[in-house]
Amino acid sequence: MKGTFPINKFRELETPFYYYDTQVLRDTLAAVNREVAKYEKFVVHYAVKANANHKVLSIIREGGLGADCVSGGEIRAAIKAGVPSNKIVFAGVGKSDWEINLGLDHNIFCFNVESIPELEVINELAAAKGKIANVAFRINPNVGAHTHKNITTGLAENKFGISLEDMDNVIDVALTMQNVKFVGIHFHIGSQILDMGDFVALCNRVNELQEKLYARQIIVEHINVGGGLGIDYAHPNRQPIPDFAAYFATYAQHLKLRPQQTLHFELGRAITGQCGSLISKVLYVKQGTNKQFAILDAGMTDLIRPALYQAYHKIENITSEEPMEAYDVVGPICESSDVFGKAIDLNKVYRGDLIALRSAGAYGEIMASGYNCREIPKAYTSDELV
Give residue-wise pLDDT tens across range 317-330. 999 999 999 999 99
**Dihedral of alpha carbons 158, 150, 141, 28, sign:** positive
Task: Convert the pLDDT of each residue in 237-258 to its tens digit.
Answer: 999 999 999 999 999 999 999 9
Instruction: Supply the pLDDT for residue 153.
Output: 43
* Cis before 16 (ω within 30): yes
Instruction: Supply the pLDDT for residue 65.
Output: 98
CATH class of 274-381: mainly beta
SS3 at position 126: helix
**pLDDT of 58 above 80:** yes
- What residues are paired with 267 via a beta bridge? 46
Task: Convert the pLDDT of each residue in 136-147 to its tens digit.
Answer: 999 988 775 444
Q: What are the start-end ranges of the E strands in 96-221?
A: 110-113, 133-140, 162-163, 180-186
Spans of all domains in the chain:
22-273, 274-381
Contact between 270 and 192 under an 8 Å Cβ cutoff? The reply is no
Instruction: Supply the pLDDT for residue 167.
Output: 87
Gyration radius of the chain over CA positions: 22
Q: Phi/psi at 22 (nearest 5 deg)?
A: -70, -25
Instruction: Supply the pLDDT for residue 20.
Output: 98
Please compute the mean of the pLDDT values over residues 20-40 and round it to a whole number.
97
Architecture of domain 22-273: Alpha-Beta Barrel (3.20)
List the single range of 87-96, 127-136, 145-154, 343-352 with lowest mean pLDDT: 145-154
- What residues are paired with 286 via a beta bridge? 293
**pLDDT of 150 above 50:** no
Please compute the mean of the pLDDT values over residues 23-49 and round it to a whole number.
97
Contact between 242 and 231 under an 8 Å Cβ cutoff? The reply is yes
Task: Convert the pLDDT of each residue in 71-83 to its tens digit.
Answer: 999 999 999 999 9
For residue 215, name the pLDDT band (cuts at 50, 70, 90).
very high
Question: Where are the alpha helices (H) located in 233-279, listed in sequence order?
Answer: 244-254, 269-272
Q: How far is CA 54 from CA 28, 82, 184, in A?
A: 18, 10, 30
SS3 at position 338: coil
DSSP-assigned letter for residue 347: E
Calculate the average pLDDT of the chain. 94
